[in-house]
Amino acid sequence: MTTMKHTLTMLVQDKPGLLNRVTSMIRRRNFNIDSIAVGASAVEGFSRMVLVVDGATTAVEQVRKQLDKIIGVVKITDITDSDVVARELALVKVEASPETRSEIIQLTNIFRGNMLDVTPDSIIIEVTGDEDKVNAMIELLKGFGVIEVARTGRVAMTRGVLGPLKKPGQEKPKAKRIKKAASRKEEPPVS
């Protein structure tokens, strides 16, 4: 049985403890979370969660079904095989002497990165892109002396108007019904 990285997107209520319930359920199924990103969604009172887990497709499908049963999870979709836009962001603090500074700046420009902070002995660089681009940039910067790395998890969404919460032939969640449920403090409808 071969494993692969799966990207799961979730629309969840913005409530305390929900992230803990999600990660605890994944831990109980003995999966490691490669990355997790959570932030506000387009619907007030709800958050968007993007999880990357490594596992066999059938096992990840079972996890997806279990996550869908958690109160507060409105919708969950495995977008691994979908046409998606995915990005990661990394902040990399690298040693920068007067001799190496121009080379680091050139490398940053090649990767379309940004220099966020420059001191006499270091530079903090921001690089955004797919996982391979971020990994390549960090690997090249190691030659100069990487001091510290802070990295987000993958954030992703499907291309086009269907979005991650709807596939062809499925009904899409009703934003008005979700907002109405949130204003009444009840569970949102599952589309």
Residue 164 has pLDDT above 50, yes or no: no
Q: Where in the chain is the domain with CATH 3.30.70.1150?
A: 86-151
pTM of the complete model beyond 0.85 = no
Residue 36 has pLDDT above 70, yes or no: yes
Beta-ladder partners of 127: 90
Q: How far apart are CA 62 and CA 72, in angstroms?
A: 18
pLDDT-wise least confident of 64-68, 102-106, 157-161: 157-161
With respect to CATH, is domain 4-83+159-183 assigned 1.25.40.10?
A: no
pLDDT averaged over the chain?
Answer: 87
Give the CA distances from residue 2 to residues 54, 57, 60, 154, in Å, rounded to whole numbers and listed in that order: 10, 8, 12, 22
Per-residue confidence (pLDDT) for residue 184, from 0 to 100: 47
Q: Where in the chain is the domain with CATH 3.30.70.260?
A: 4-83+159-183
Residue pair 156/85 in contact (Cβ under 8 Å)? The answer is: yes
CATH architecture, domain 86-151: 2-Layer Sandwich (3.30)
Per-residue confidence (pLDDT) for residue 167, from 0 to 100: 41
Q: How far apart are CA 91 and CA 149, in angstroms?
A: 6
Confidence of residue 179 (pLDDT cuts 50, 70, 90): low
Per-residue confidence (pLDDT) for residue 3, from 0 to 100: 87
| Higher pLDDT among residues 166 and 148, named by residue | 148
